[in-house]
Amino acid sequence: MDSILVLIEHRAGRAKAISLEALSLGQKLSDELGKPLKAVVIGKESDALAAAASVQAPEVLVAAADEFADYTPETYCHVLSEIVRRQSPYLLLMGHTYQAIDFAPRLAATLDRGFIPNCIDCRCEAGRPLFFRQVFAGKLTLQVGCKGEPPYLASVQQGAFGGQEVTSVQGAKVLRLDVPMPVQLVRRKVLEVFREAEGKVDLSQADIIVAGGRGLGNKEKFQIVLDLAKALGAAVGASRPVTDGGWLPKEHQIGSSGQTVSPKLYIACGISGAIQHTVGMVNSGCIVAINKDPNAPIFSIADYAIVGDVFKVVPVLTELAQEIRK
C-alpha cells in the first residue's frame, strides 16, 4: 500500500535509460515521502526477468506472459490498471517515451486520475510532490500539484533526472504477478517490430557532447567541431540552424524540438544559448561554452565560459585532447 511504482521499459532484457531516470526520481521521492519504492516490469518471461535483474530497486514486480511479448496499449493499460488495483500505489512514474504517450492517458482515464506528462523536476512540498513541466517550447515552466486521491501518474523527460544516480540495492526481491489478459481486450497483433531510423544518433547516452551552432558559419567550417568531438571520443550535437541548414542531419539537434541530453560534459561552440536550445542540455554535468560575445545567454548556464573566437579556441582544445589521448 502507498508505494511508489516505477514502470521499467526494456529492450533485449535491459532497462531503458529513461526508465532508470524515472527510478532515480522514484528513489528520491521514496526517501522524502517515506514510501516504499517498487519497479514494475511487463513483458515476455525471459525478457522481463532479465530486465528485472538489471534494475536496482528494493522490490521488482514482474508481470510476465507470452502475450506481453510485444507492447500494445491495451496490454499495458490492462496490466498496469490491475497492478494499481492490487498495490494501491501513491504514485506511478514512467519515462516520457512514445509508449507512455500512447498508453498513459488511456490508463489515467481508466483509473479516473490525472496524468502529469514530461516532467523536468519534482520536489516535495508539505509532504506532497510538486512537478515541474515546460510549455510553449520551454518559454514557461508550470508547477503542477497533485489534487484528489492517489494514485498520481507522471512521466519524466529524458535527461532530466540522471539515471546514474540510482543507488545500488543488494538482493532485490522479485515478485511475480499473474495478470491474465482478457481475450476481448486483445484487439491487435504486432506483426513486425522495426526501428524507423536504424543507426539513429542517440545523444541521450553520450558522456561527452561537443555541439556547434550558427557561429561556425557554414558546413565546411563546422568540421572543427567534428574534429574536437573525435579527439575527445565525444558525440556531436547541434543547434537548430545547423540542422535546418543541412550541415548535420536532424537527429543531432538538441533542444525543444530536438533531443534532450544530460552528458557529463557539454561543450557548446558558437551557440548563443536560446531557451529552445538550453532546455535540451541544461542538465548536463559540466557545461563549457565558447562564444565571442561576452553577453551570450549561454554563459549564464555555463560552468566554464571561454570568451573567444571558436576558430582560435576549438583547434587548440582539439590539439590538447589529441596530446592527452596519445
Name the residue nearer to ligand FAD (CB basis): 109 or 135.
135
What is the smallest separation between the CB atom of 96 and ligand FAD, expressed in angstroms? 16
Q: Is 213 in the site for ligand FAD (CB under 6 A)?
A: yes
Task: Report the interhelical angle of 223-232 vs 310-325 (nearest 10°).
Answer: 20
Q: Under a CB-based contact definition with an 8 Å cutoff, are residues 151 and 91 in contact?
A: yes
Contact pick of 3, 158, 253, 260 for ligand FAD (by CB under 6 A): 253
Task: Report the interhelical angle of 73-87 vs 98-111 (nearest 10°).
Answer: 50
Contact pick of 32, 202, 309, 319 for ligand FAD (by CB under 6 A): 309
* Amino acid identity at 72: T
Query: Which of these segments, 39-47, 123-131, 146-154, 265-273, binds ligand FAD (CB under 6 A)?
Result: 265-273
What is the smallest separation between the CB atom of 135 and ligand FAD, expressed in angstroms? 12
Which residue has cell 530497486?
57
Name the residue nearer to ligand FAD (CB basis): 60 or 271.
271
Q: Is 291 in the site for ligand FAD (CB under 6 A)?
A: yes
Name the residue nearer to ligand FAD (CB basis): 37 or 238.
238
Which residue has cell 523527460?
157
What is the smallest separation between the CB atom of 164 and ligand FAD, expressed in angstroms? 24
| Rounded Cα–Cα distance for residues 298 and 289 (Å) | 7
- The DSSP annotation for 211-252 comes to EE-GGG-STTTTHHHHHHHHHHT-EEEE-HHHHHTTSS-GGG
CA 45 distance to own-chain centroid: 26
Binding mask 123-152 for ligand FAD (x = CB under 6 A): --------------x---------------
Query: Which of these segments, 8-16, 26-34, 99-107, 233-241, binds ligand FAD (CB under 6 A)?
Result: 233-241
Exposed / middle / buried, residue 33 (Cβ in 10 Å: 0-12, 13-18, 19+): middle
How many distinct helices (H) and strands (E) make up the chain? 8, 16
What H or E segment, with its residue span, contains residue 267?
A: strand 265-269
Q: Is 232 in the site for ligand FAD (CB under 6 A)?
A: no
Q: Is 26 in the site for ligand FAD (CB under 6 A)?
A: no
Q: Is 159 in the site for ligand FAD (CB under 6 A)?
A: no
Query: Which of these segments, 50-58, 102-110, 172-180, 248-256, binds ligand FAD (CB under 6 A)?
Result: 248-256
| Interface residues toward ligand FAD, by CB under 6 A | 137, 213-215, 239-241, 253-258, 270-272, 274, 276-277, 280, 290-293, 296, 309-311
